């Protein structure tokens, strides 16, 4: 094929080939696109798309093999044009209804700088406009602007042009058209396909074909011919990603056995969701209502080096005017979880619904500030117009992933933070896995660092990858709200002007949009207030002359000042009286299921209570050391063990807020026949004997961890002793 005969003008380098495929080939392609699995379609805000060939990141492609029907087309493009140095390996199939388009954008650095777009179905107009860095001078010369501004580049219509793409046509652009121009499709059903902005650029593309079409389906408006879109258009964007990345270990739990295990016990009754334990502390501020003085320095617990514990004056009683929901930020280290948490408090503070928290007030521990990461889970509060939220900021650093489990165990829903510049990373996947294991029911997604992504399509690919990742963990990836923005730019804006309101700033509005999604998508949980009271102890503080404060989340039931509770697990069960209840520096008459509270206990020393114990209604739960459970053991490719284990295996069992070593004393298969070995990927029944008694009950879920990673998940079927 002699491409020069299809060249559009002299500059930029654009080729338009009408009738590149036959009507029969178009029909076959559309049959494959619409006749395959419906799950391949992913819905974005402005259109649907299918991603073929793998996931594209700025550093390269995590590959998947193209199907034969697509390979047939990509080979034809490759061989006919001669513009690609090797086989095309990535195809995006986009579906556009008449009122749908795509904003002007450039392709990212991961691609070879040639794009081939095959158009099917309805005609459409592709608009090209110069990048922001290219501006026209007074004499119409194009000069370069080195301002380096970030964000979505603006259009300069003085040098813009449009291409009318007919069905079965192929559009190719490269060189300056690739590097210096944005391309996009208007979301209007009426489009201009001939625009003359200056005489140096000829803007009529395949005029004979265009005129033929306009006689039947378009009108005219002065120098502009008008295209009326009334049908669906499908495009195949075919590209080459030269750098192929090694596929990261998939952590998706796709095994039917695991899915049944998780789904069957997602809402056990009467047992609450699993809350595995780790050595960490939730940062709760207690008030002077518990203290004879206004501040207290308490030695840090051995498991968690902490700053001195400062007690602040109470601000009165906590009034339940709105439903209370526990949410939190999860995701990979340095993707912006703590910055987003700060942005949420600052934005809602401007509406009078929160106390603004700066980044360093959330990441308050010295070792966190020094490393720039969150180690312990931190809790803040804020309100929207409809709800009161307790927000847990979870750590993302790999060294502290297990510390995240406690934060996740408290959540009624989560905000998954993913860098739009990097896409999902290892801890993104592990956090989603842990969230599923500990029973986090719903989440929304914030694609952070949007300001660092020049290629809008790359941001959409990250969104697509996140949706597929969530779906692989049994979340509803197709419907989960995904909001993009920049938490840092929102924080900077609100720091400069704390009174920024809705509509005043793009980046702050993204924060409001996120909370609107949280309000609407994460349901108000049904609290188990009718069940006997139970709170798993997170942390303990001793207050001289008053007693000992135990903090944690009320898992079920209610508790009031003056009531008696049992302290169960790890040691002999004892009975104590609650003399104070407080949440977020406010006094409570009664704590309800779902509340993150501090309970002041009379007659107990700090040494007598520890993390992992539970406070419960007297007689409602007892400690046990031996139980029978059904477990699913993760495969190697799911992040689990590489080898089998046998009777006598001694991992850590994470139950509520404690982690206890236990011994697998017996292994049975589905037929209750004794087995000697468990392979990764097996679903088996085991008998576990813990080294210390733990408050546990039938239906309670737990995680199995070994060597710093999760290797299995299970649910207790029966208590033995």
Q: Which residues are catalytic?
A: 334, 337-338, 397
Do 591 and 559 touch, CB atoms closer than 8 A? yes
Q: Which two tokens stand for residue 25?
A: 């080939």
List, in order, residues 6 or more apart from 330 with CB less than 8 Å away. 337, 394, 396, 404, 407, 408, 414, 415, 416, 417, 431, 432, 435, 443
Residues 6+ apart with CB under 8 A from 332: 396, 418, 419, 422, 424, 425, 426, 427, 428, 431
Give the Cα separation of 262 and 282 in Å (integer): 26
Which single residue is written with the structure tokens 């392709």? 107
CB 261 within 8 A of CB 641: no
CB–CB of 395/403 below 8 Å?
yes
Q: How far apart are CA 309 and CA 288, in angstroms?
A: 12
Which residue is it, tokens 């933070």? Answer: 417
Distance CA 461, CA 92 (A): 9
Q: Residue 73 is encoded by which pair of tokens?
A: 């087309």
- Collapsed DSSP state (helix, strand, coil) of residue 146: coil
Q: What is d(CA 419, CA 410) in angstroms, rounded to the nearest whole number?
A: 24
Cβ atoms of 615 and 534 closer than 8 Å: yes
DSSP sequence for 95-145: EE-TT--EEEE---TTS-SEEEEEEEES-EEEEEEE-TTEEE-TTS-EEE-
């Amino acid at each position: 094929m002699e491409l020069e005969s299809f060249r559009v003008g002299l500059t930029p380098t654009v080729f338009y080939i009408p009738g590149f495929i036959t009507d029969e080939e178009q029909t076959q392609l559309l049959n494959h696109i619409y006749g395959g699995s419906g799950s391949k379609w992913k819905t974005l805000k402005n259109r649907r798309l299918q991603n073929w060939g793998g996931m594209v990141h700025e550093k390269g492609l995590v590959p998947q093999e193209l199907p034969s029907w697509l390979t047939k087309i990509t080979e034809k493009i490759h061989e006919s044009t001669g513009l690609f140095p090797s086989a095309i390996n990535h195809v995006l199939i986009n579906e556009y209804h008449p009122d749908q388009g795509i904003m002007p954008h450039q392709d990212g650095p991961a691609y070879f700088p040639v794009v081939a777009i095959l158009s099917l179905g309805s005609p459409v107009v592709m608009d090209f406009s110069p990048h922001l860095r290219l501006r026209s001078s007074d004499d119409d010369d194009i000069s370069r602007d080195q301002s380096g501004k970030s964000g979505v580049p603006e259009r300069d219509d003085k040098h813009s042009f449009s291409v009318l793409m007919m069905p079965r046509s192929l559009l190719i652009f490269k060189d300056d058209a690739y590097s210096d121009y944005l391309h996009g499709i208007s979301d209007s059903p009426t489009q201009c396909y001939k625009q003359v902005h200056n005489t140096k650029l000829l803007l009529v593309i395949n005029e004979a074909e265009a005129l033929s079409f306009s006689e039947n389906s378009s009108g005219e408006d002065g120098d502009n011919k008008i295209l009326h879109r009334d049908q669906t258009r499908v495009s195949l964007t075919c590209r080459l990603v030269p750098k192929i990345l090694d596929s990261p270990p998939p952590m998706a739990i796709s095994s039917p056995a695991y899915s049944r295990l998780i789904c069957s016990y997602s809402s056990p009754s009467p047992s609450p969701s699993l809350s595995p334990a780790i050595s960490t502390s939730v940062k709760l501020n207690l008030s002077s209502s518990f203290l004879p003085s206004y501040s207290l320095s308490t030695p840090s617990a051995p498991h968690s080096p902490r700053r001195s514990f400062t007690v602040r004056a109470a601000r009165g009683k906590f009034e339940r005017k709105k439903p209370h929901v526990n949410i939190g930020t999860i995701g990979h280290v340095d993707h912006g979880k703590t910055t987003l948490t700060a942005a949420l408090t600052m934005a809602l503070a401007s509406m009078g619904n929160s106390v603004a928290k700066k980044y360093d007030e959330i990441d308050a521990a010295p070792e966190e500030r020094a490393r720039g990461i969150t180690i312990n889970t931190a809790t803040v509060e804020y309100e929207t117009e409809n709800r009161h939220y307790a927000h847990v900021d979870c750590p993302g650093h790999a060294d502290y992933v297990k510390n995240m489990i406690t934060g996740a165990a408290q959540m009624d829903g989560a905000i998954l933070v993913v860098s739009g510049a990097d896409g999902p990373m290892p801890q993104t996947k592990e956090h989603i896995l842990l969230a599923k294991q500990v029973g986090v029911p719903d989440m929304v997604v914030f694609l952070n660092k949007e300001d660092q992504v020049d290629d809008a399509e790359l941001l959409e690919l990250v969104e697509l990858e996140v949706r597929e990742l969530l779906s692989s963990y049994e979340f509803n990836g197709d419907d989960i709200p995904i909001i993009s923005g920049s938490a840092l730019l929102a924080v900077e804006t609100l720091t400069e002007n704390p009174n920024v309101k809705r509509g005043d700033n793009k980046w702050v509005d993204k924060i409001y949009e996120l909370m609107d999604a949280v309000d609407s998508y994460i349901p108000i949980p049904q609290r188990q207030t009718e069940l006997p009271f139970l709170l798993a102890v997170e942390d303990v503080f001793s207050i001289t002359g008053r007693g000992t404060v135990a903090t944690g989340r009320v898992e079920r039931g209610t508790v009031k000042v003056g009531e008696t509770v049992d302290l169960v697990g790890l040691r002999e069960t004892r009975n104590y009286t609650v003399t104070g209840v407080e949440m977020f520096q406010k006094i409570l008459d009664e704590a309800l299921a779902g509340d993150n509270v501090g309970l002041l206990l009379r007659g107990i020393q700090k040494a007598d209570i520890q993390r992992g114990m539970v406070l419960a209604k007297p007689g409602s739960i007892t400690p046990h050391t031996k139980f029978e459970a059904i477990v699913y053991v993760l495969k190697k490719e799911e992040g689990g063990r590489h080898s089998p284990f046998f009777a006598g295996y001694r991992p850590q069992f994470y139950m509520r807020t404690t982690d206890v070593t236990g011994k697998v004393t017996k292994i049975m298969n589905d037929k209750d026949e004794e087995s000697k070995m468990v392979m990764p990927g097996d679903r088996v029944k085991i008998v576990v004997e813990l080294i210390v008694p733990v408050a546990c009950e039938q239906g309670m879920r737990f995680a199995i961890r070994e060597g710093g990673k999760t290797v299995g998940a299970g649910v207790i079927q029966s208590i033995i002793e």
